[in-house]
Structure 1
Amino acid sequence: MTILWVGGPAAAGKSTLSRLFARKHGYIWYSVDAHASAHEARAAAAGLYVPGTDPGTFDRAPMILEDIRAYPADAPVIVEGAFVTPTMAGTARNALWLMPSKPEQAARLDVRNPGINHEGFIWGRQLIHDQLSDTQAPVLEVDNQSIPQTLAAVEQHFAPYLTTNPDTPTRQSYLRLSNTQLATQATTLTTFDCECGTPTCAALIEAPANGLPPTRPLLAPAHT
């Protein structure tokens, strides 16, 4: 199984870039954030976590790895989230950390959620910065980059792993796995990927959490 790891702080672009990368190159997109509720429930059942307290009190790495191993053995996966650390992912070519500067992160957070105190996210950036210090972890500085520019840089970094080109049914099955993770985490509306399986498709569909058709792909209008 090919596993690519994308780490970085809030507003680094991890989810957007990993989601686009997965659709274009036929990977399963695994969002650590989309599994937060499931991981908390599993940790609580194991006596490792008290619901309502800081979820940072238990180690999510074993559960993340367990989730990934449950995918088809030959499926390529791109894993992204702030919980991706050098200890979990290693520091080889199949890992990459997207890092904005503090001013860049603050500006992006203000665009995302105006008027909100972002102190916790700023602290998270410093924590990740410290985790990467004194390691050989590959880092991509994302200041002043557009989404296409960052995607191109991510593709260049992961180029050795882009040797496969899954057929449409396989791509659709991977998209369904990624969408299912979103449906499991969501409580109301969520934004799903179109499941047409076309590598150039970037269409998103807003639908209820239970809105995935059980026997056919979820398609954007006019997509087949």
Structure 2
Amino acid sequence: MARFPFDIVAFDLDGTLADTAPDLTTALNHSLAHLGRPPVPAEDVRHMVGHGARALLRKGLAATGEVSETLIDRGFPVFLDHYTAHIADGTRPFPGLEAALDRLAALDVRLAVCTNKLEGLARELIDALGWRDRFAAIIGGDTLPVRKPDPAPLFEAVARAGGGRAAYIGDSITDTDTARNAKIPCIAVTFGFSDRPADMLGADLLIDHYDELIPALERLGN
């Protein structure tokens, strides 16, 4: 039997591993209400995610009126407090994900997370979903001085997971740009939080369901 072509598979988190939009939407709208703003529809929030919580709040403010660093500074702690307390109320893994992770583990592939979510929040969410033992490395948006699409966080995730040939799975232009900058093969999911059609992301391959992940990685690696 041929050896699996990748030693490490790294994943984005929001919109890739899990549908976090319900809880992000609730936290965003809670912080907007605190600032006297109307709520943002959940479907709009899905297209705002990908650059971290502070950027999400900035986009929420822009969608409902003026934006200033003072408003962001006022709303950000409110957002973080609410999101931390409700981090997995409505968040769910995407269909087929956990079976795919099990299959990768059975193939001796090491798994990593590389996200622009704050590392502390990423770890809280991963723990809440029962995934603590699945990932050899978790790199967040504040782990290093730079964040995606700079390739350094992805390089760090691969290194902390033990090094070797790696692939990256994401859902947004931030993810595909990160992989391209790192010269690491990339698969994009079509069901995530992208602000543009998946076929415009420039990924090496697209998948519509996690049932397709292992065959896609085999094609990509060979």
TM-score category (smaller protein): 0.3 to 0.5
**TM-score, normalisation: structure 2:** 0.32
